[in-house]
Structure 1
Amino acid sequence: MSKESVDITERIVKLKPDWALFSASAFETPELCLNLLQEVQKISKKNLRFVLAIDEINPGLTILLKLQPVFELVNKMQFKISDPDLLLTHHIRSFPRIRLGNNFRTLDYTDNCGTLVRQSPSEVPLNTLIPFKNIQKIETLKAGTAPEKWLNNFLLERDNVAHPDQVVGILRETKGCYLFPGIPFNSILSLKIDKTKIEHVIRLDECSIKNPPFKRFIENMEQEHRLWLSADKEGAKRASVHIRCSGKYPIINTLMKKLLKEIGYNNFELISEIKNEELKQKNSDIYLKLNNFPANKIRQKHIDWSKDLNQILEPLSHFIFLSDLKMENISAALPIHKIEFEEFRDNLLKKIKDAETKNQQAQSDLMLHTQERNILKKITPFSRKLLEALSASRTWKSAVELASKIKQPRAILFCENENVAAELNLSLTEVPRK
């Protein structure tokens, strides 16, 4: 980033905004705009949200189509868009749901990457919106035809339920492909580019509560304000609670104080023992019991974590002296940013997937090794007999030379040549069974 961009980023963050309105057309390139948004969101300690404010759809909104944002509509449909012809300045009064079914075999069209592809209806990726002007050819059961001619014939067969000029694309949904009439501006709920989400898109000349996008923006801010008031009220309620902790180990007490403080319980007191006068405190006090002090002596509200804590710490007691441990220079952990959290989450999910793959491979290997072991167990008796037989075996040459001297009750001859075997069989005169 340039020095100017860094300065702007720092100035925005210092304002500590909850919402940031921006104009994409004010930047030299859409990439610079996206980089600034990502950098501001990265270093902001708040859950900063963005609102795109435009004068006109073109170039105010269309300038971002180069980055192929994912549009989310008010009906929860989501798809990636790069063609400005799909965005409408007017409202669609009515347009029937027209499913294409098996009316074509393949489409030849240019995808968002600029690549010419040929796909059947089932091969088109789910939630893909194909601009009609990007379709080169439509292959039907009879023959290939130009897209415009195919569309006219298709609608004519259905009594012209829609005019061809109303169709701007083909949308792939779960149940198949449908004719698509375009996206009215008022139907746009949000945009997402990579991991940066633009919560709202509003027109500066239509900042009226009667305007649906602006109304959604105001309602969203009001909802956030209500949540903030509720959280502030809950925080005040927590701050008024007096918590007394009677833990055995200093490090556990300190850690407990730190954790409770992070969630708003600031009125916290550590006590080494509970005296009689302390038992007469007001009922709003809460005793956090972390040791073996008899619970029947505590008349106020109390939470007994002693058994759970002892169960957790018991393995550690064999290796370290918990009583000697102390926690110094406690500093509050910085909140993790949403983008950083998502990257961390994605890395963990990748590691989990790799671990699952390795686990499946290990299970397959275990199954093969188990089968091999079972086979070896079954052939063990035969192997023993074979070893005994091999210990008394002779080479064919040796047997031929000493045939008259070999005296055994029985013998097995292994030879590929039947005549050679017959000659040796006759020579073994002292072997009854052969």
Structure 2
Amino acid sequence: MAFEGLADRLQSTIKKITGKGKVSEQDVKEMTREVRLALLEADVNYKVVKDLIKNIKERAVGQEVMESLTPGQQVIKVVKEELTALMGGEQSKIAVADRGPTVIMMVGLQGAGKTTTSGKLANLLRKKHNRNPLLVACDVYRPAAIQQLETLGRQLDMAVFSMGEEANPVDIAKNALEKAKEDHHDYVIIDTAGRLHVDNELMGELQQIKAEVQPHEIYLVVDSMTGQDAINVAESFNEQLDITGVILTKLDGDTRGGAALSIKAVTDKPIKFAGMGEKLDELEAFHPDRMASRILGMGDVLSLIEKAQTNVDEKQAKELEEKMRTMSFTLDDFLEQMGQVKKMGPLEDLMAMIPGANKMKGLKNAQFDEKQLSHVEAIIKSMTKQERQDPSIMNAGRKKRVAKGSGTNVSQVNRLLKQFEEMKKMMKQMTNMQKGKKGKKGKGMKLPFM
């Protein structure tokens, strides 16, 4: 997960003062020193760290904290607010043209993921905003760049405009805009050429395209794994092109997070989107407040709800609710729900969005093995329809047959059946609580795929 090292360090640091009835200046001094080290280790720009620590220190020893009833919690509130402000304060919305198509130029160095991100952005605009984008292949230099964009277009069933490798990129962009108007596309996403490093030839071409098509947005695509280099690249592109925003790729990887925490402060341009995986639906709008919450272990419920709304079928969810109410939930239903959860992304990332999950017994530092999901799936699929509907008929012979058919062992089959029964009991307790009855206290149930 992104920011993992920084998150662990910050959470352990501020935890020390959370429960304190009083917070002294010395406490604040020690905490800010630890926060400073954590940020520098995460590759955050040192000037940015200096300003952030100064702001936290001034507010943390001010009246709003020292005279509050819960000073420890107030300090955390201050840290969250300052981190949020550092990353831009609030979500920066995408532009919409008053007339004609909205033109977006995608710029950046080679290897940052510009072409794939162009496809992801087009997909997001169509799925979440009901738009009809046109992808434009303006990278005539990188081998197979045009073919890559055309392949993405086929995968997404989306229009791609190209004129081949011999055409001038400025002409391609100009003709694409005319084509978009003719075919009633409301967004034009121009995938421009990159270089291994910033050079005058590249910038000259990008400036010509900008002058020709007058883009409403110029998004710099930056590989967040490159740390401080990402900041230098952002500064160069911003000086030459006056970018309107940044898209961070590979934010799901083993990144220290320094780019995301520095880029807004250094360029004064917002982070618009974040790439959270390799799939074409794994591009998310960047919310500074939600990211600050996740860094500090407070979860991110809104993003979790949005993921669920995007990936979970509403009709199936209502049917599931009814089955839970009538206690007719089966292993078939569980298999179906597990499939929908898998669509939402890696389990570690989903758990990070649940407030307090990192503090829950059994979940802190838990390793979610995606292979276990496959084992559970194989066990259930190796059962007969009757066994999936009524697991109580599973005797020793049936369990042995299922274990053999699923490539597992009898103890794994037993564990799944036991945990499934525990889950059904928990559902019954929740249903009783909803009816106003007092439910019995649960015993710390584990999900069958953990």
Same fold (TM over 0.5): no
- State the TM-score, normalized to the length of structure 1: 0.24
Determine which structure has greater relative contact order: mean sequence separation of CA pairs < 8 Å that are 6+ residues apart, divided by chain length.
2
Higher helix share: 2
> Which has more radius of gyration?
1
- State the TM-score, normalized to the length of structure 2: 0.24
